[in-house]
Structure 1
Amino acid sequence: MRIATWNVNSIRVRQTHVRRWLERVRPDIVVLQEIKCEAHAFPAAVFADLGYKSEVVGQKAYNGVAALSHRNIVIHHRSLPGLTPDDSQARYIEVETEGLTVIGIYLPNGNSGGEAGYSYKLAWMDALCDRVEALLAEDRDLVVTGDFNVCPSPLDFSAGALPPTDALLRPETRARFRRLIHNGLTDAVRALHPTSPAFSFWDYQAGCWERDRGLRIDFALLSPRLAECMVAAAPDRDERGAEQPSDHVPVVVDLVWPETAKAA
């Protein structure tokens, strides 16, 4: 099974990019972030032609997440359990396919809105940790993937690319990411590439792509049985060199699943 995540930075601008990439890579399921449209405006027909069904959690002009799959999927949640009922930001989707739970997230950046904006980021991370812990307590096979807006270690960002006060680096942010990992999740890319920067984001400004001044902020975290089934995980850097690209690239994980996992 091939699982991917991609912050596309507007699906209506990047729908041709996504279609071309789906044809080339053929993931079984991909979660998208920052689609920046409501569900009715999502170009589902473009991907249906390739055999992909779409589940969309949209928001006008901002945020928005979606899951595309050519396998049967059941959607369980369109918002993160545990947040206040009036939370209207489209940042979470949770689906299941063939016994595998896939959570797609667009975690708040936390650098806007002052301390209130940062507090929202932390509250969101706390709710995510609670949800993951609940699923793991049920012995669920789980992938948590998407744009996490956190750089867990110095290897995950170019030197000088971010000030130490940035919300992606603040100790409270990193502590919550560690809480996720300490539940028994495996950072797929880092497990297979322990010393590579493996960047997934390059800002449009200051020649960041050309100078390879990037960040690694897009992750796939695997529950224990899935980590044992992993055979490959890496960002697809080629997409950043396309014409009018997103500032993020897809991250792709290959699993020998479900046959090997069930046999084990």
Structure 2
Amino acid sequence: MRLATWNVNSLKVRLPQVLQWLAETPVDVLCLQELKMDQDAFPLADIEAAGYRAAWLGQKTYNGVAILVRDGHSLDDVVPGIPGYDDEQRRVIAATVGGVRVICAYFVNGEAVDSPKYPYKLAWLAELERYVADELARHPALALLGDYNIAPDDRDVYDPEAWKDKVLCSVPERDAFRRLIGLGLTDSFRLFNQDEKQYSWWDYRAMMFRRNLGLRIDHILISDALKARATECVIDKAPRKWERPSDHTPVVLTLAE
């Protein structure tokens, strides 16, 4: 069973890339972030023609998340948003797929540590932590996939000194990431790859991708039940080389049956 996450930075723009990638890399579950489209604009017919079903939570211009599930797998108990948290931004959707609780999340960016959006990010992270703790109590086999907008440590940043104490790398954000780990989750990528200069996002400007000046901010955290089944987690850089790419690229986790 393969699970993947990908911030597509507008599904309307990136739909051809998503369909191409699914044809070449037929994962069982694909979590998408930054759909940037209304609920009724979701291209369900194209997704179904590619052999997938979907649950999604759309929002025009910003945000929006979706879980795509390959035909033959269940898609049950879909929950949009964070229960008990009144948030106008549509950033989270969860479903159970083949016995695995899948939470797809587009974490708040925060803009800058002195921005009004930064306290919202920290408050949102606290609500997500509460929600994930509740879900873990109900679903021992759980994966939290998404664009976290957090680089967990200096290995995940091309220039740690330049990014020190800045948004995506600030101490409170990294502490929030560690609290998620503390719930009983594991960074699946680090189970297999301890190399430096492994990134999932590169700014469009200044040839950052060609120079490999990026950040690892897209993650798949997994519970202990899935940790025992994990066999591989990789960053697939290929779509970042395609025409009109997202600034993010997919991360793919493989689980043994």
TM bin, normalised by shorter chain, reads over 0.9
Q: Distance in 2 between matches of 1:234 and 1:150?
A: 18
Aligned to 1:80: 82
| C-alpha RMSD over aligned residues | 1.5
Gapped regions of structure 2 (runs ≥ 5): none
SS of the counterpart of 1:211? coil
Please name the residue that 2:230 is paired with.
230
What's the % identity of the aligned pairs?
Answer: 39
What is the Cα deviation at residue 47 of structure 1? 1.4
Greater CA deviation, 146-155 or 156-165?
A: 156-165
- Say whether 1:53 aligns with 2:53: yes
Deviations 1:63-82 (A, max 9, x none): 11011112220243210124
Q: Does structure 2 retain, via aligned residues, the 8 Å contact 1:198–1:234?
A: no
Normalised TM-score (structure 1): 0.92
Per the TM alignment, residue 167 of structure 1 is displaced from its structure 2 partner at its CA by: 1.7
Hey, what does 1:3 align to over in structure 2?
3
Secondary structure of 2:245 counterpart: coil
Aligned position for 2:192: 192
Return the offset for 1:113: 9.3
The TM-score, its normalising length taken from structure 2, stands at 0.95
> Match of 2:209, SS?
helix
User: Which whole-Å deviations, capped at 9, do the CAs of 1:228-257 have from their partners, x for residues lacking one?
Assistant: 101110110111111111000000000013
Unaligned ranges ≥5, structure 1: 258-264
Q: How many residues align?
A: 255
Match of 1:18 in 2: 18
Counterpart CA distance in 2 for 1:82 and 1:177 is 21
Q: Secondary structure at the match of 1:206?
A: helix
Distance change >3 Å, CA 226–CA 57, structure 1 → 2:
same
Deviation of 1:54 (Å): 1.4
